[in-house]
Amino acid sequence: MRLDDSKQAPAEAFLFILSFLTKNYAFDATSFMHERGMQMPVLQLKDAMIRASYVNELIEEAINLSKDHGLLFKFADSVTPNNLGVLGYLMLHSSNVEEAIIKLCCYYPLIGKTLKPIFVAENEGYKLTLLIHKNGEVAHLEKYSAEIHLSALLNLINKIIPHPIFPKCTTFRHTKPLHVNAYQKIFGENILFDEVENALFFDKTQLVMKTSYDNPYLLSVFEKEAEQSLGMSVHGSLKEQVLGYILIATGELDVSLERVAHKVGMHPRTLQKKLKDEGASFVELLGEVRQKLAVHYLQKGLGTPTIASYLGYAEPSPFLRAFKKWYGMSPKAWLAQS
């Protein structure tokens, strides 16, 4: 599988995978890079980018040479809570699995601005999925990226609890591979392919499982540090900051003025006043984000209840009313017309 060569990927991620392959599989990095005209000093520059297809080619070549179809899952297993810094410590010191996942979703921007984990209630259970947000667009992860990130998320959860768990179900968007046994060792028996999204599904009993390192005091210390770090990482006008924080908050069921004002470091009334000075309002900015994401999710085949949850609505009916106000018709009618 190859990605469009016009797409770009961070060189840092490429080097991380390359280092793992070189160390654990004696992969010939020099030959691979020479064939593609890649130079290490250039790749090591801050914010360096490469063709996204090179990441796929690297993985495919490594799998073909090693004959190890579980290679990516072993790579994901090398990620530990300690590797993630403050975010890892937040998960580590949470009281149970549910709180750890919530902290992961809330503070994921500490380790990456493009990926967005989303955790929502669905069908008497809970779903954890990952989307990629870049240049105003939201999309699902490609095959290899989905495999790495979903297995890494599951491994992180299993490293903070006494006994490892399998999700009740795992779904992938790509076609069923030949070597399903490599997947089953990580995700268990219940794996579905050719689905509308990449996701891990858990039940309530799994989420209340206590962590091995529960520490309320350390959790509060690291949460304050995380809030401070995020506040310092957002630049641009206040309007741009608020839009960014709304994007971070969608899917957490708390896209409120109070929540965003807290992240910006202002009283809600002060935030409203300053936004008004810039010719904007919180309600307008929230609606702008929701309107764009709603159409995208519809086109990706997600159902109304899921979209409502992703956009921070407590239930579908307010979302349906908002959608009709935006487009003059229901989501179903819009999708049929478009």
Domain positions in the chain are 8-68, 81-207, 234-338
pLDDT, residue 136, reads: 61
Predicted local distance difference test score (pLDDT) of residue 5: 44
191-198: average pLDDT: 94
76-85, 116-125, 174-183, 230-239: which is most confident = 174-183
Q: Give the pLDDT confidence score for residue 102 in this predicted structure.
A: 92
User: Between the ranges 83-92, 248-257, 261-270, where is the mean pLDDT highest?
Assistant: 83-92
Confidence of residue 2 (pLDDT cuts 50, 70, 90): very low
Structure token digits, residue 219: 């959790």
Question: In the prediction, which pLDDT does 151 show?
Answer: 95
CB-CB contact of 110 with 229 (8 Å)? yes
Note whether 311 and 253 are within 8 A (CB): no
Confidence check: pLDDT of 250 > 90? no
Angle made by CA atoms 328, 330, 334, in degrees to the nearest 5: 80
pLDDT at position 110 is 82
| Region for 194 from its dihedrals, namely left if φ exceeds 0, alpha if ψ lies in -120 to 50, beta otherwise | left
Q: Output 47 or 274, whichever has higher pLDDT.
A: 274
Predicted confidence band of residue 146 (pLDDT cuts 50, 70, 90): very high
* Average confidence (pLDDT) over 135-163: 88
Quick one: average pLDDT of 284-293?
84
Q: How far apart are CA 282 and CA 239, in angstroms?
A: 9
**What pLDDT, on a 0 to 100 scale, did the predictor assign at position 324?**
92
Share of the chain above pLDDT 70, in %: 92
Paired tokens of 247: 């994007």
Q: Please state which of the ranges 127-131, 209-213, 271-275, 295-299 shows the lowest mean pLDDT.
A: 295-299
Q: What is the CATH topology of the domain spanning 234-338? A: Arc Repressor Mutant, subunit A (1.10.10)
